[in-house]
Amino acid sequence: MQHTGIDRTLAFCLLCLIVLGTIFVYSSSYYRAMRRGEESTYYLVGHLKRLLIASIFFVLGLILPYEIIRRLLFPLLVIIILVLILTLVIGRPQYGARRSLALASFGLQVSEFVRVWLVFFLANFFSAHPHTANTGKGMMNTIALCFFLIALVAIQPSISMAMVCFIVFILMLIYGSTKIRMILPTMTLCLAMLVLFVILFPHAQHRVDSFITHPTYQVQQSLIAIGSGGIWGKGPGAGLQKFLFLPRIHNDFIFSHIAEEFGFVGSLVVFLFYWQIYLRGLFIAGSVEDEFTRLLILGLNASIFIIFLVHVGVSIGLLPPTGVPLPFISFGGWSLSSNLFAMGIILQASKRRVV
């Protein structure tokens, strides 16, 4: 028997994270806003506006049959490549990189959707061509296309997003039952490309060098925030790092803010929401009969959990600073839109569960 409704547990956990994110964004940014001469709700209002746009992507993912997206993979690829190239040429400079294309009063950051396209493409490739997936010629063409797309993201430069895309790519090879003799050389090539990108871009090399030798200022302050939170935290609004000690705490280091004000217990609650979302995604993937749908859910589900792990890893000093937002919680942007679009797809697919 097939379900007709979405997975309510998954939807509930997602809603909880979005609500908590709105609260955390305000509590971590109100002082920063006032120091800029703005109202205390400046970043909160900005987050809500971005959340409204992201909600449109969520609804689109929920109601637009993903088979349509599957049929439009090539036109979407052309659009993504054109926008990425335009971004490199005339994109808006920000923090020494060109990651968004200025359109009217906002910037279009298509790199956040590259990993979503990769999951769609590889899910289609492995489900439609299962035999070609384990031939050298078939894999070489696929690897070349994926690496070209990821390279366009990396040279913006956005090494962190390129790293996430590489991890998602390797996981999709595993989910697609690619033979180990194909996976190992591909993993080696991914690592080599990441090393090359780090060497080519001084800011990335500096981050890695600092990670190896001593923590950067941001990571030091992040560790202070997490350590000072203890078991129960300092309490809502009582954290100190938001008073401009930890830059971009409402975005790149919002997990540190959660740990400081709500302690280990609050951090654990947030982790359990993400863990439950990941487990529900695995359950849904195992409950559908269509191979394309199964691979699609596995890839999108894994990509979100990977980003969560990377954000936390940076916050606790296990990874070099990357500037990866915490999914559904950090100050909104195109990352929020791409993640909610992915969740919309997963919830749409959950209607096809078979019990």
Contact 125, 58 (CB under 8 A): no
pLDDT digits (tens, 9 = 90+) for 177-234: 888 888 888 899 889 988 888 888 877 787 888 788 888 888 899 999 999 999 999 9
pLDDT digits (tens, 9 = 90+) for 302-344: 999 999 999 999 999 888 888 789 999 998 788 999 999 999 9
Structure tokens, 213:
């030798």
Contact 264, 252 (CB under 8 A): no
Give the helix, strand, coil percentages of the chain, each rounded to 5. Answer: 70, 5, 25
Structure tokens, 92:
């808006």
Other Cβ atoms less than 10 A from the Cβ of 98: the count is 18
Q: What is the pTM of this model?
A: 0.94
